[in-house]
Structure 1
């Protein structure tokens, strides 16, 4: 079993207060973040996502917005899941609750997301061209179509987490 809480085993991404977004690497230059000449920036569009997840067009692809709240988020490749830190006394405690959370989650309706390959998760306020210079994580995904579903789960009395699971279609 992988022990995720070992130093350097999990990379957490944090936001300055808004949503996180996973943008395909091929279209990062098209994400303007909070910058832009339009009346509604890309960041504004991301903030309008209602619920735990949503898709926004970026270039000739779509980006996955992790909505609801700006929780610290990590990607666990063994589970194909973004884990969002709601509450826990420690990283060990939070990550130990992931298997139970996945098994007991009451999933929201799923969306279908097509990606050309790896994506970068970062604060939606940043322009895509600056995303790798800030808090971010590169998520290696095979090109193709994914079902994306989300849930909020309480696997322990003092542990709450969000799940955004990707399943290859």
Structure 2
């Protein structure tokens, strides 16, 4: 069964598990909250500092999102009549995607995907999914793909970089 993460209206964020307590979400004493920084990301993806590493912001629109480990890809449900229809289009969409420029993301291990408005230490009380990643560097690229007359999906592909 595919686990989907929903947002209350803002961006979703993948925070390395090791630094979850440092993500304050919409709370905090600073004039600009972590959530504000996530909302400031322009485009499909971006990186924001958290602790001694960075978190991946899934920007653009607050679409329901799942991680498909067999493709190393976050899939964003933009438009489809059913989950089955959307998931069936993923292989062809990956082949047809016109990717935005890639960003490099270094991760210390597993990440947790959740609504950026939540504090990291409260993420287990909301929609979230844990994504097992090997520590290291990843190339992250994103695309918005029309996969049929009424099917659109967003893709955020993670590619392990060597060295």
TM-score calculated relative to the size of structure 2: 0.98
Q: 2:128 aligns with which of 133, 136, 139?
A: 136
Q: Return the offset for 1:132.
A: 1.2
- Report how many residues are paired: 161
Runs (4+) of structure 1 exceeding 3 A deviation are: none
In structure 2, how many angstroms separate the alpha carbons of the residues matched to 1:155 and 1:87? 10
Q: Return the offset for 1:102.
A: 0.1
Q: Return the offset for 1:122.
A: 0.1
Q: Return the offset for 1:133.
A: 1.5
Q: 1:15 aligns with which of 7, 29, 32?
A: 7
Match of 1:168 in 2: 160
The answer for unaligned runs of 5 or more in structure 1 is 1-8
**Secondary structure of the residue that 2:85 maps to in structure 1?**
helix
**Secondary structure of the residue that 1:132 maps to in structure 2?**
helix
**Secondary structure of the residue that 1:100 maps to in structure 2?**
helix
RMSD: 0.4
The answer for unaligned runs of 5 or more in structure 2 is none
In structure 2, how many angstroms separate the alpha carbons of the residues matched to 1:103 and 1:117? 27
In structure 2, how many angstroms separate the alpha carbons of the residues matched to 1:92 and 1:75? 15
1:81 aligns with 2:111: no
In structure 1, how many angstroms separate the alpha carbons of the residues matched to 2:148 and 2:76? 15
Match of 1:124 in 2: 116
1:41 aligns with 2:41: no
